[in-house]
Amino acid sequence: MALYEHDGSYCIRLDQLELMHSSLSTSELLLGELATKRITTHAHPAVLVGGLGLGFTLRSVLAALGSDATVQVVELMPAIVDWNREFLRGLNGTLLDDPRVEVIVADIWEVIARAGRSCYDAVILDIDNGPCGMVQKQNDRLYHDEGLHRLEAVLKPGGRAAIWSAWRDQGFVRRLSNAGFMVQTVPAKTHALAKRCPYTIFVADK
């Protein structure tokens, strides 16, 4: 995994596959907006964000929530946290200093497994290119029955999960439904002026 900069824009690549680019942040911002849409007036909302990336989803979450919110950001790769603190402060890196934010360098699976029942108002997953393991193969377990039941368990009644994907996946919609969620699929653009919506955000309500 590597961070690249060109003319003030940044991208993160995995084995030369571009995972994210700072000029194509519209879907990440939408992800955070959708995840927090129903909890902006909640007292002391708690949000779990799986995947820091370039920080755009975190920016959207913090913009939607008040000063009493708690936002845990879980990132598997220590280098990504370091890049945000050192090289990306002019982008979104300073958000890691927000008093509402707790950064956890860990596998999101382990964080969800350790969490108690009904402890998050919203959970966001943006750790792969869709509902299958890419960054690490064992991420597959997050998107199948056991992982989805664990996800449902950590959400408060009425809580929401939002999962970013580079493609539509009806099989994943069925698995979410079987785990007890009410599911919407929301198309997402690459950038604000794009005509197409190639990405999908799965919105799953408990």
Domain ranges for the chain: 24-205
Question: What local confidence, expressed as pLDDT, does residue 192 receive?
Answer: 87
Q: Name the more confident of 3 and 130.
A: 3
Cβ contact 92:17 at 8 Å: no
Tokens of 50: 């799986």
| Topology given in CATH for the domain delimited by 24-205 | Rossmann fold (3.40.50)
Instruction: Report DSSP state, residue 104.
Output: E
Cβ contact 78:102 at 8 Å: no
> For 1-10, 38-47, 73-82, 129-138, which range has the lowest pLDDT when averaged over its residues?
129-138
Q: Which pLDDT band, with edges at 50, 70 and 90, does 181 fall under?
A: very high
Q: Which pLDDT band, with edges at 50, 70 and 90, does 193 fall under?
A: confident
Q: Is the pLDDT of residue 16 over 90?
A: no
Alpha-carbon gap, residue 65 to 100, rounded angstroms: 10
Instruction: Give the relative orientation of helices 56-64 and 26-36 as an angle to the nearest 10 degrees.
Output: 30
Long-range contacts of 97-100 (CB under 8 A, 24+ apart): 98/62, 98/71, 100/62, 100/65, 100/67, 100/69, 100/70, 100/71
Alpha-carbon gap, residue 90 to 202, rounded angstroms: 30
